[in-house]
Structure 1
Amino acid sequence: MAHIIVVGNEKGGSGKSTTSMHVATALERMGHRVGALDLDLRQQSFGRYVENRIAHNKATGMELPIPEYRLLPELKAEDVPEGENIHDTRLSMAVAGLEDRVDFILIDCPGSHTRLSQVAHSLADTLITPLNDSFVDFDLLAKVDGQTNRILGPSVYSEMVWNARQLRARAGLPPIDWIVVRNRLGPQQMRNKKRMAEAVDNLAKRIGFRAAPGFSERVIFRELFPRGLTLLDLKDIGVGGLNLSNVAARQELRDLIKALKLPGVEVAF
C-alpha cells in the first residue's frame, strides 16, 4: 500500500503548495513513484504548480520529474452508494486509483475546514503542517496566554488532528506521524523567533507532534511557481554558480526530507 502524506492546516499562505511540490518532486528524483491530489477544489494552487511543470517540460523538451497528478473523479448523487458522503467517495476513488501504482500519495489540503480535508487527515500516515513563524499562525494549534506565553489548550486544527487519530485507532491503523514545519523563518534570532521555538517545542510534547525547520522567506520561491520549477531543478535548467541563498534553500529541503523519516527514503540530492 502507498504511504500517504497529507500536507495541511486551516490557514492559507503558510507554504503548503510549495512544500507539497518540493517534497513530491524530491521523492521522484530519488526514484520513488509519487501520486498527487489537490483537495482545494476552488484555488488548486498545488494542481496549478504541477500543470505549470508539465507545460515547462513540453515547451523546453526537458523531462523534469513530475508526480502523477489526479483530479478527484466527478460523481453524480445517484452514483454514490446509499448512506455514503459524495466527497468521501470521490477521495476514496482517487486514492484507490493511485495506491497500487505509486510508493507515496501526497495530498495537499485547502487552507480551510472542509469535509475533504477532514477525511484526508484520517488517511494520513505522515501529516505535514506548514506554519508561518508567528503567533498568528501558532493560534491554529493552541490557545496561548499573551502575557505569560503559557499554553491554555489545543485549538481548532489540533482538535481535528486528534479526531483523525481517534478514527485511525478505531480502524486499527498505525498512528499519524505529525510534523509541524516552521516556514518563513527570519534570518535574525529575534525575540519573537525564540518565543515561537519555545512554544512549538512545548506544545509538541503536549499534543504529540515533531517540530522541523522548513523554508526561510526567499524571493526564489515566487519565481519558481509560474514555471513549475523547484530548487532541485536549477542546475538542470542551466542556472550555474548558485548563489548562497539558493544553496541554503536546497539544504533546507534536504533537512526537511530527512526530518520526515519516510519509509524507504534515503536523502540523495
Structure 2
Amino acid sequence: MAHIIVVGNEKGGAGKSTVSMHVATALARLGHRVGILDLDLRQKTMARYVQNRQKYLEREGLDLPGPSYMELPEIDHATLQPGENAYDHRLSAAVAELEPNSDFILIDCPGSHTRLSQVAHSLADTLITPLNDSFVDFDLLAHIDNDGEKIVGPSVYSEMVWNARQLRAQAGLAPIDWIVLRNRLGAQNMVNKMKMEKALERLSKRIGFRIAPGFNERVIFRELFPRGLTLLDLKDLGVKQLNISNIAARQELRDLLKALKLPGVDVRF
C-alpha cells in the first residue's frame, strides 16, 4: 500500500504548498512514484504549482522527475446512501485510483477546517504541520498564557488530530507519525523565537508530535512557483553555481527529508 503523507494545519500562509511540492518532487527525484492531491478546492495552490511545472517543462522541452497530480473525481449523488458524504467518496476514490501506481500519496490540505481535510488526516501515515514561528500560529496547537510560558490546553487543530488518531486506532491502523515544522524562520534569534522553541518542546511531549526543521524565509521559494520548479531542479536548468542562500535552502530540504524518516527513502541529493 502507498504511504500517505498529509500536509496540513488550519491556517493559511504557513508554507504548506511549498513544503508539499518540495517533498513530493524530492521523493520523485529519488526514484519513488508520488501521487498528489490538493484538497483546497477553491484556491488550489498546489494544483497551480503542478500545472505551472507541466507548462514550463513542455515549453522548455525538459523532462524532470515530479509528482503525478489528479483532481478529485466527481461523484454521482444518486449513488450515495442516506447519510453518506460525497466528499468522503471523492477522496477515497482518488486515493484508490492513485494507490496502485504510487509509493507515496501526498495530500495538501487547505488552511481551514473542512470535511475533506478532516477525513484526510485520518488517512495520514505521516502528518506534516508547517508552523510559522509565531504564537498566532501556535494558538492552533495549544492555548498558552500571557507570558508565553505555560500551556493552558490543546486547541482546535490538535483536537482534530487527536480525533483522527482515535479513528485510526479503532480501524486497527498504525499511529500517525506527526511532525511539526518550524517554518519560515527569520535569521534573528529573538526572544520570541526562543520562547516558541521551548513552548513547542513542552507541547510535543504533551500531545505527541516530533519537531523537525522547516524552511527559512527565502525569496527563492516565491520565485520558483510561477515555473513550478523546486530547489532540486535548478542544476538541471543550467544553474551551475548556486548562491549561498540557495545552497542553505537545499540543505534545509535535505534535513527535512531525513527528519521525516519515510519508509524506504534514502536521502542522497
Superposition TM-score tier, normalisation by shorter sequence: over 0.9
Give the conservation status (yes or no) of the 8 Å contact 1:180–1:212: yes
Give the conservation status (yes or no) of the 8 Å contact 1:38–1:47: yes
Give the conservation status (yes or no) of the 8 Å contact 1:185–1:217: yes
**Alignment-mate amino acid for residue 205 of structure 1:** K
What TM-score, normalized to structure 2?
A: 0.99
Please give the per-residue CA displacement for 1:164-207, whole angstroms capped at 9, x wherever unaligned. Answer: 00000000000000000011111121111111110111100000
Identity among equivalent pairs (%): 74
Please give the per-residue CA displacement for 1:131-159, whole angstroms capped at 9, x wherever unaligned. Answer: 00111100010000022510000000000
**Alignment-mate amino acid for residue 196 of structure 2:** M
What TM-score, normalized to structure 1?
A: 0.99
**Alignment-mate amino acid for residue 25 of structure 1:** T
Give the conservation status (yes or no) of the 8 Å contact 1:8–1:127: yes
The aligned runs of 1:131-146 (5 Å cut-off) are: 131-146=131-146
* Paired residues, number: 269
Deviation at 1:73, TM superposition (A): 0.4
Equivalent residue for 1:25?
25
**Alignment-mate amino acid for residue 264 of structure 1:** G
Which structure 2 residue ranges, 5 or more long, are not aligned?
none
The question of 1:257 aligning with 2:257 is answered yes
State the alpha-carbon separation in 2 of the partners of residues 147 and 49 from structure 1: 39
The aligned runs of 1:166-185 (5 Å cut-off) are: 166-185=166-185
Give the conservation status (yes or no) of the 8 Å contact 1:54–1:66: no
State the alpha-carbon separation in 2 of the partners of residues 69 and 184 from structure 1: 26
Q: Which runs of 4+ in 1 moved over 3 A?
A: none
Deviation at 1:242, TM superposition (A): 0.6
**Alignment-mate amino acid for residue 175 of structure 1:** P
**DSSP 3-state at the match of 2:236:** coil
State the alpha-carbon separation in 1 of the partners of residues 51 and 125 from structure 2: 26
Which structure 1 residue ranges, 5 or more long, are not aligned?
none
Please give the per-residue CA displacement for 1:45-76, whole angstroms capped at 9, x wherever unaligned. Answer: 00100000000110001011121111000123
Moved more, 231-240 or 111-120: 231-240
Equivalent residue for 2:121?
121
The aligned runs of 1:14-163 (5 Å cut-off) are: 14-147=14-147, 149-163=149-163
State the alpha-carbon separation in 2 of the partners of residues 75 and 172 from structure 1: 28
State the alpha-carbon separation in 2 of the partners of residues 148 and 192 from structure 1: 9
State the alpha-carbon separation in 2 of the partners of residues 176 and 148 from structure 1: 28
Cα root mean square deviation, aligned: 0.8
State the alpha-carbon separation in 1 of the partners of residues 207 and 160 from structure 2: 12
State the alpha-carbon separation in 1 of the partners of residues 233 and 81 from structure 2: 44
Give the conservation status (yes or no) of the 8 Å contact 1:36–1:106: yes
